[in-house]
Structure 1
Amino acid sequence: MPDSNRGVALGATAFLLWGVAALYWPFLSAAEPTEILAHRMVWSLLAMCVFLFLARRGWKWLPGVIRSPRRLLPVAAAAVLIAVNWWGFIYSVSTAQTLQASLAYFINPLMSVCLGVVLFSERLRTAQWIAVALGVIAVVVMTVGYGAAPWLALLMGSSFAAYGAVKKYVDLDGMQSLTVETLVMFLPALGYVLFLEFSGVGTAVSVSPAHTALLVGGGFVTALPLLLFGLAARLVPLSVIGMLQYIAPTMMFFIGWLIQGEEMPLARWAGFALVWLALSVFAFDQVRGARARSVRRREDRESARERPTTEPCD
């Protein structure tokens, strides 16, 4: 299979798994979202150790990262941000608010663009400004319609956008970075899990073997799509990843609406319609920009071939 096709398959699988995850965490309803998050942190490290072993990557790179604050601090910041994102997702799907999770990942690209302007002084094209404005209007429409802001969606979307921005300062590959992130989370999360168990309010071993297995499995549910995503990102252009990323929130939308039976009043339909319109404008601009860059590169190559060469005189 060509690398491009393999990359698309890996990326699509990653986003499908992220979408299906909305059905996984509600099975752990016996536990509070914070306890689920702590177990997710603990068992994600185990999952990454397994993946590193299978990939035969070794651990020689790890001491150098731990001894260097310059390398460790960005990874630690990324760990905090992704933990916030994980909690928001667990809470939303466990409390029948999956549509907020869907909205979060629909508006995430727009938030990432805004962070690019604020943090990296990136300049937006007209179409991108229009997409951002439509996204803001969508949030306002939902806020007015419900009488409250969709704070879970904003929390998840902003934390994941910030996570992506911080990762620009991390000089590790995807597997190494995620391993260190889970390592940073491990001790606080393990301490919290042990505190709950010794306090008699933990659910790790008191509910059922299936519940325990699901808690452990949460680490692999977390790590596997991230690993597949990292592999896909190396094989296909970011523009392709950008198109694939809408698989997950689309699945979450239909899970929340059709399976979990969340209400879709007019204000919510209007808000999602504006978000989808914004993303259509954004995606069109991305594709047009990619084609324009491709044409310029081809013209540059042709120009270089046609340029006469000067030979030294005898």
Structure 2
Amino acid sequence: MPEISRKQALGAASAAYVTWGFLPPFLASLKPAGPLEILAHRIVWSFLLVLVLLFALRGGWAWLRTSVFTRAALPSLVAAAGLIGANWLIYIWAVNNGHVVEASLGYFINPLVIVLAGVVLFGERMGLGARIGGGITLAGVIVISAASWQGLWVSLSLAVSFALYGVVKKRSSLTALQGLLVESAFLLPLALPYLLWLGPSGQFGHAPGLTVLLVLAGAVTAVPLWCFAVAAPRLPFGVLGILQYVSPTIQFLLGITLFGEQVTPTYWVGLVAVWIGSVIYLTLTIRAHQPPPATEPV
């Protein structure tokens, strides 16, 4: 494959995060299909698309033996499949049940949950940015929970499930496409029989437009992930950190505009605290990862 420039990598990463940000309108367009049916189609069609892509790339299949079907790797990959499947299902349900704002909050909180998981599970040290930003974000979550418990479970479930997904994938040597193929393959024995069981009572094949959109769910899953996998190794930490907040910001704005969701004054106070905590975390963490300035030779 040709070498990717920094500018192309930035474009690929931006495309991935913007696509994820605009995912709610796409998922909403899949009604009247229910969350389980949408999830099943997402699994089946993403599996087929990634399988075709990996054949086209001609990278070989030895990685299945060395990085998947081993005693050390297999349990983690099965767990990863379960976690990402649960994350997708909760997100689809949230979008189609008026909780887009709560879903966006989950992905604002997620980076700090990942930091906490690193401290608890891997003994990592929490930096200054994580301590200050995390404390302010936690205060915001407490304010939101005091105002409304009804949707908070969506935010916390998305944040925790995706953080745990990152934890179990931490030692995986698979690329993004390989990982998506394996995870989809593990979920396929649940998704495909479910779609066959739905048969005529499902939405597939009833309306041409909806049928095409259900098939496109595979591309909407796989393509942005591929863009991110191409871009991430070629971009500085700070750029990725900033782009990380593009998706939930778009989702939040869509929630209060396109989807007409109401945000109470107390919820706004909590959200502002979460945003401030996220900015502090991001700013201080980026500074901590900047290389020291080069010195002139004496």
Smaller-chain TM-score range? over 0.9
For residue 18 of structure 1, what is the aligned residue in structure 2?
A: 20
Indicate which of 280, 292, 295 corresponds to 1:295: 292
Query: Which string of whole-angstrom CA distances, capped at 9 and with x for unpartnered residues, describes residues 133-190 of structure 1?
Result: 1111111111111254610111111111111111112122222122111111112111
Q: Which letter does structure 2 place at the counterpart of 1:95?
A: N
Give me the whole-angstrom Cα distance separating, in 2, the residues matched to 1:285 and 1:10.
26
For residue 87 of structure 2, what is the aligned residue in structure 1?
A: 85
Moved more, 217-226 or 164-173: 164-173
1:111 equivalenced with 2:113 (yes/no): yes
1:169 equivalenced with 2:171 (yes/no): yes
1:203 equivalenced with 2:217 (yes/no): no
1:1-314 to 2 correspondences below 5 Å? 3-148=5-150, 150-197=152-199, 200-205=200-205, 207-291=206-290, 294-295=291-292, 298=294
Question: TM-score, length-normalised on structure 1?
Answer: 0.89
Give me the whole-angstrom Cα distance separating, in 1, the residues matched to 2:114 and 2:100.
21
Question: How many Å apart are 1:194 and its aligned residue?
Answer: 1.2
| Residues 146 and 267, structure 1, Cα contact 8 Å, conserved in 2 | no
Q: Which letter does structure 2 place at the counterpart of 1:295?
A: P
Q: Which letter does structure 1 place at the counterpart of 2:137?
A: G
| Residues 10 and 228, structure 1, Cα contact 8 Å, conserved in 2 | yes
Q: Which letter does structure 2 place at the counterpart of 1:50?
A: V
Give me the whole-angstrom Cα distance separating, in 2, the residues matched to 1:171 and 1:287.
26
Moved more, 141-150 or 256-265: 141-150
Q: Secondary structure at the match of 2:185?
A: helix
Give me the whole-angstrom Cα distance separating, in 2, the residues matched to 1:61 and 1:279.
37
Question: TM-score, length-normalised on structure 2?
Answer: 0.93
Q: Which letter does structure 2 place at the counterpart of 1:290?
A: H
Q: Which letter does structure 2 place at the counterpart of 1:201?
A: S
Q: Which letter does structure 2 place at the counterpart of 1:246?
A: Y
Q: Secondary structure at the match of 2:32?
A: coil
| Residues 67 and 173, structure 2, Cα contact 8 Å, conserved in 1 | no
The number of aligned residues is 296
Question: How many Å apart are 1:65 and its aligned residue?
Answer: 4.1
Question: How many Å apart are 1:54 and its aligned residue?
Answer: 3.2
Q: What percentage of residue pairs aligned between the two structures are identical?
A: 36
Moved more, 49-58 or 80-89: 49-58
For residue 309 of structure 1, what is the aligned residue in structure 2?
A: none
Give me the whole-angstrom Cα distance separating, in 2, the residues matched to 1:37 and 1:179.
15
Q: Which letter does structure 1 place at the counterpart of 2:257?
A: L
Question: How many Å apart are 1:64 and its aligned residue?
Answer: 4.0
Unaligned runs of at least 5 residues, structure 2 = none
Rg larger in 1 or in 2?
Answer: 1
Unaligned runs of at least 5 residues, structure 1 = 307-314
* Runs of 4+ with deviation above 6 angstroms: none
Q: Which letter does structure 1 place at the counterpart of 2:261?
A: E
